[in-house]
Structure 1
Amino acid sequence: MASLANAALQLFVLGAVLVLGMRAGTASATEAWEVTDWAEAHATFYGGQDAGGTMGGACGYGNLYSLGYGTATTALSNALFHNGLSCGACFLIECILQGSKWCYPGKSIVVTATNACPPGSEGGWCDPPRPHFDLSFPMFQMLAQPVAGVIPVRYRRVSCSKQGGVRFTLHGNPYFNYILVHNVGGSGDVAAVALRGENSRWNRMNQNWGQYWSCGGWYLGQALSFKVTLGSGRSLEFWNVVDKNWGFGQTYESDYNF
Structure 2
Amino acid sequence: MNGNQWFYEVIVSNVGGAGDIVGVQVKVDKSRLRWTSLDHDWGATWKTGFPLQGKTLSFRVKSSDGRYMTSMHVVPSNWQFGQTFEGRNFKSGGRRRRNFKSGGRRRKGVGQL
Which residue in 1 is equivalent to 2:67? 234
> Contact conserved, 2:40 with 2:46, CA < 8 A, in 1?
yes
The two structures, once aligned, show a CA RMSD in angstroms of: 1.3
Which has the larger helix fraction?
A: 1
Distance in 2 between residues matched to 1:194 and 1:234, nearest whole Å: 13
Larger gyration radius, structure 1 or structure 2: 1
Amino acid in the other structure paired with 1:235: Y
Question: Match of 2:89?
Answer: 256
Pairing 1:212–2:42 present: no
**Cα separation, 2, equivalents of 1:219 and 1:174:** 9
Are 2:36 and 1:203 aligned? yes
Q: TM-score, normalised by structure 2?
A: 0.73
1:192 is the counterpart of 2:23: yes
Task: Name structure 2 gaps, 5 residues minimum.
Answer: 93-113
Q: 221, 235, 241: which one pairs with 2:54?
A: 221
2:23 and 2:62 mapped to 1: Cα distance?
5
- How far apart, CA to CA, are the structure 2 residues paired with 1:234 and 1:195? 16
Q: Residues 36-75 of structure 1 correspond to what in structure 2 (within 5 A)?
A: none
| CA deviation vs aligned residue, 1:140-165 (integer Å, no higher than 9, x gap) | xxxxxxxxxxxxxxxxxxxxxxxxxx
What runs of 5+ residues in structure 1 fail to find an aligned partner?
A: 1-169
Q: TM-score of the superposition, structure 1-length normalised?
A: 0.33
Q: Which whole-Å deviations, capped at 9, do the CAs of 1:87-127 have from their partners, x for residues lacking one?
A: xxxxxxxxxxxxxxxxxxxxxxxxxxxxxxxxxxxxxxxxx
Structure 1 runs of 4+ with >6 Å offset? none
Q: What is the distance in 2 between the residues matched to 1:241 and 1:231? A: 22
Would you say 1:244 and 2:85 are equivalent positions?
Answer: no
**What is the 5 A alignment of 1:10-29?**
none
Deviations 1:186-237 (A, max 9, x none): 1111110011111343111111001100111111111001110001111022
Higher normalized contact order (CA 8 Å, seq sep 6+, divided by chain length): 2
Q: 2:6 & 2:58 partners in 1: Cα distance?
A: 17
Q: Which amino acid aligns with 1:251?
A: T
Could you tell me the percent identity over the aligned residues?
37
Partner residue in 2 for 1:180 = 11
| Distance change >3 Å, CA 203–CA 244, structure 1 → 2 | same
Q: Does 1:171 align with 2:11?
A: no
The Cα shift of 1:256 comes to: 3.3
What secondary structure does 2:66 align onto?
coil
Counterpart-to-counterpart distance in 1, 2:79 and 2:14: 20
